Chain A
Amino acid sequence: MATGESIIRHDAVAKVTGRAEYTQDLYKSRMLVAKYLRSTIAHGRVTDIDVSAARSLPGVAAVFTFKDVPRQPFATAGHPMSLDSSHRDVADRRLLTGDIRFMGDEIAVVVAEDELIAGNALKQIRVTCTPFPVLIHPVDILDPNARQIHEGSANRVGEHGWRFGADIESAMDHADHVVEDSFETAMVQHCHLENHVVFAYMDDLDRIVIVTSTQIPHIVRRIVGEALDFPLSRIKVIKPYIGGGFGNKQDVIFEPMAAFLTLHLNGRPVAIHMTREEEMIGTRVRHPFHIRVKTGVMKDGTLAARDVDAIAVTGAYASHGHSVAAAGGGKIGCLYPHTPTRYHAQTLYANLPAAGAMRAYGSPQIMYALECATEDAARAITMDSVEFRLKNIVRQGDIDPLSQKTIHTCGLAECLIRGRDMIGWQSKKKKYAAYKTGPVRRGLGVACFSYASGTYPVCVEIASVRLSLNQDGTVHIMAGATEIGQGSDTVIAQMAAHTLGISHEHVRVIQAQDTDVTPFDTGAYASRQAYVSSNAVFRASVRLKEHILNHAARMTGMHSDLLDIEADHIVASDTRTPVLDLKTLALDTCYHKTRGGQLTAEISHKTTTSAPVFGCTFADIEVDIPLCKITLRQIVNVHDSGIILNPVQARGQVHGGVAMGIGATLSEEFLIDSGTGRVFNGNLLDYKFPTFMDTPPVDADFIETREPSSGYGNKALGEPPVISPPPAIRNALLDATGVPVNRLPITPEVLFKAFTTHGLIRPGRTGHV
């Protein structure tokens, strides 16, 4: 039983010794560095650019401007390609631009011997611009007279809507109560510790090698080919160890430029390293959303109807565009399938950093608004928050009203009941009744979510693995699944070991990926890797096992049906006694002069399901009203992610996701000057993501269901833990103080304003600053 065990990550020792090599640790001799000239205004057009002084500086190899790059725009989103051309990503990006769309847009690039020279050269470039009014707020962006940030776009990237269930207008009319409110989420950033870094060189006259910190090596290969009109098979993408991505590296941002530069510099290696400050504004961020939710509720606790209207702001470029708002709304049906619901969303351009994929892809925004609104509905009829959800949520066997697929596994009710017990809901509810007045108050909150395992049927779900029996009887796996820190390599080894009957120490997934040899997979996103890989790994492992047993039969003269593999030995299937050890067999496959051959098994499998996953957060908080401070006393996350393959690693995912959710709730946001579009806090000192001091203990638990569409019963886990902490904490704040705060993050400043508005603080009389 290798699955279900908390085995140590296979890459743990390489990482803890500093021997794991990330892209920034690799070096090519004669490597040049490239640095971008970024715009200092957020909206405008370059009317003149003079790079002659920069070009003539000693040590400068080349300077390119927007005039020197291919005119054909390309799409950067790291999606599988849609064979339907009407569903392709928006191609609105060039390598460099003279049309400035956010503060930090890339106008020119200097390539030099080192960063100091490149930096000096950047200062020598003279740019003249015509500025335009900066468009940041939806009302300005949608003004019919507003300038189109991308010509012909009307400043809209996409818009769609759907509805399910009974007539919503009539259900609202007949509801006992209707609650309606607007919610806002902030622009936040991934803040993986490893910045984007890439280098490219040519190892032949017509072949480009790109070494890059990416979640999607095979997609990088395709998009670089599209951007440069260069044959895909002559581009090789290498993915070393990756220092986190969280979606930011599911976008092809700098690889096309690195490839372009080496092509134009006679194949010489060129590196692009982001500084942290560039990383914050010049890669991707999470879409800020403006969401209006109207909820009809009956006195008996039935959610009668729901109407959700969302505006997502994608910033300067489409990147993942409207997909994020579509995906976020798409999970509502799986959570409350019995409530008639209407959803409408649009995605707007703005003169802001470009938003793209970020952990849970639209769900943190939509589920936040939905679960705040659910809480408000429960309170409108004075029903217990947990009981209200238990009455309305999805149950196993329900049909997802949007996909019309049956939900085969759902442990959400059990998650809620487990979480309620873990936090001590009933006893604390009674105890905290005494904490509803005075300066320090306490409250409890809950929120749930649903999410998906992968992107099917919107996108293809393909996973490929190649297993080989080594000469010493161990197994190596080449997997298309991309390890970025989430642990996919380790659980893939566990899966194969489980089916093969080989100890997991003897199964190793090759860490570094190389698109010339790594089997095809679309990469790490959508919490898909363990789920979709399970089906490929299971099939390939069954096949390799057959090959091994057939060879054992040849060696022993026994029938293969009477043989099995257990603890690295071929055993008799009835008595379980060893008949041959795997190493002897492996040597025979390679070196016997006439029989057999190297044993391999390769499977590429398309998964045509996407198992919904579920979970909830319970929050116990203390609110110091004069200090405008929230202290998290306890936070509990319970997940139904199917069978848990590696409990310690799974808990680690939950702890990290909850910490990211806590940051989004209490402290993380880009502070943007609405007049200029400048981001004031684009660094890790002023952008407040939780430190060790800010992160309370998180109680993580699982309700294990066995998902039939998965090779090992597992479902998605990576992204979901980030989704429900924000609404749970907001609902706890409401419980503690009676004050609904409907925007993220809930900073002390926001609390001060809210408490002042609601009369909990009287400025001038309390003496507080």
Chain B
Amino acid sequence: MSGLQLKEIELYVNGTPCKRVVDVRKTLLELLREDLGLTGTKYGCGAGECGACSVLVDDVLVDACIYLAVWAHGKKIRTIEGEAKKGRLSPVQQAYVTEGAIQCGFCTPGFVMATTAFVQQHAGQTVTDDTIRKAHAGNLCRCTGYQHILRAVKKSMQFPDE
């Protein structure tokens, strides 16, 4: 049908190289969920409002629902599926679990990726609560009131990612 254009892209997803021919209209979120079966990244709004689809692209936090799949060509993508390794949670994931920062869990993968990016950027620094709030303001949560998430982020700062 008209409008259909295909393009071959090559990217790294959670450390694994992968090559796909994609419809150029496809978002990175659709590529991850539909083509690669990585459904841990969620669809919440499709317009970059809620952050449920947050992933890291070359270590930068992006909303995968408004990031075209073709833009990911040659880039390194980190999704929630790559965070727990060898049966162990990442320090950020562990902090979310321990601090009771999870309720319905639908925003959780996006939040974990946002915190993972935050911890990388601020490793070794002292950060204020307001810095944490601002850096996570693109991720909406309707269940928790963010309070236990704040504690989880602070705890994550004590154990920065390897």
**Which residues of chain A have a CB within 8 Å of any CB of chain B?**
6, 8-9, 11-22, 24-25, 58-59, 116-117, 190-195, 241-244, 246, 275-276, 484-487, 648-649, 651-660, 683-685, 689-693, 695, 697-698
Contact = CB atoms under 8 A, between A and B. Distances in A.
Interface residues of B, number: 54
A648 B145 CA distance: 13
Given A16-B89, A18-B40, A655 B105 contact: no
B97 interface: yes
Interface string B10-31: 0000000000000001000000
A25 B147 CA distance: 28
A191 B141 CA distance: 9
Contact of A243 (B40, B81, B105): B105
Given A8-B97, A193-B52, A649-B100, A485 B143 contact: yes
Contacts of B38: 18
B103 A487 contact: yes
Contact of B104 (A25, A58, A193): A193
A649 B102 CA distance: 9
A20 B105 contact: yes
A659 B143 CA distance: 9
Nearest to A662: B145
A572 B31 CA distance: 60
B123 interface: no
Contacts of A58: 1
8 contacts: A24-B42, A193-B42, A276-B50, A487-B103, A648-B148, A649-B100, A660-B145, A684-B140
B100 A6 contact: yes
A15 B89 CA distance: 12
Given A195-B44, A652-B103, 19 more contacts: A9-B100, A14-B105, A15-B105, A193-B52, A194-B42, A195-B43, A243-B105, A275-B46, A485-B106, A651-B148, A652-B143, A653-B103, A655-B145, A684-B45, A685-B49, A691-B137, A692-B133, A692-B139, A698-B145
Contact of A484 (B47, B96, B104, B132): B104
A685 B148 CA distance: 24
Chain A's interface: helix, strand, loop or mixed, by majority? Answer: loop
Given A9-B100, A193-B52, A659 B145 contact: yes
Interface string B80-111: 11011000010001001110111111111100
A229 to B, nearest CB: 34
B67 interface: no
Contacts of B148: 648, 651-652, 655
Contact of A12 (B50, B102, B145): B102
Most buried by B among A19, A241, A648, A691: A691
A243 B106 contact: yes
A659 B144 CA distance: 8
Contacts of A15: 102, 105, 108
Q: Which 10 A-B pairs have the closest CB atoms?
A: A18-B40, A485-B104, A15-B105, A243-B106, A655-B145, A659-B145, A18-B80, A25-B39, A684-B49, A648-B100
A12 B1 CA distance: 44
Contacts of A243: 42, 104-106
A276 B49 contact: yes
Nearest to A193: B106
Contacts of A19: 40
Interface string B60-80: 000000000000000000011
Contacts of B146: 655, 659, 692, 695
A452 B34 CA distance: 44
Nearest to B3: A116
A689 B102 contact: no
B93 A16 contact: yes
A13 B80 CA distance: 12
A330 to B, nearest CB: 26
A12 B143 contact: no
A58 B80 CA distance: 37
Contacts of A683: 45, 47, 49
A244 B107 CA distance: 10
B133 A246 contact: no
Contact of A684 (B50, B109, B137): B50
B96 A192 contact: no
Contact of A652 (B41, B81, B100): B100
B83 to A, nearest CB: 7
Given A192-B142, A193-B141, A649-B100, A24 B43 contact: yes
Contacts of A16: 89, 93, 96-97, 102, 105, 108-109, 112
A362 B129 CA distance: 35
A193 B147 contact: no
B57 interface: no
Nearest to A280: B45
A242 B106 CA distance: 8
Contacts of B109: 16, 18
A36 to B, nearest CB: 16
A242 B104 contact: yes
Nearest to B100: A648
A648 B107 CA distance: 19
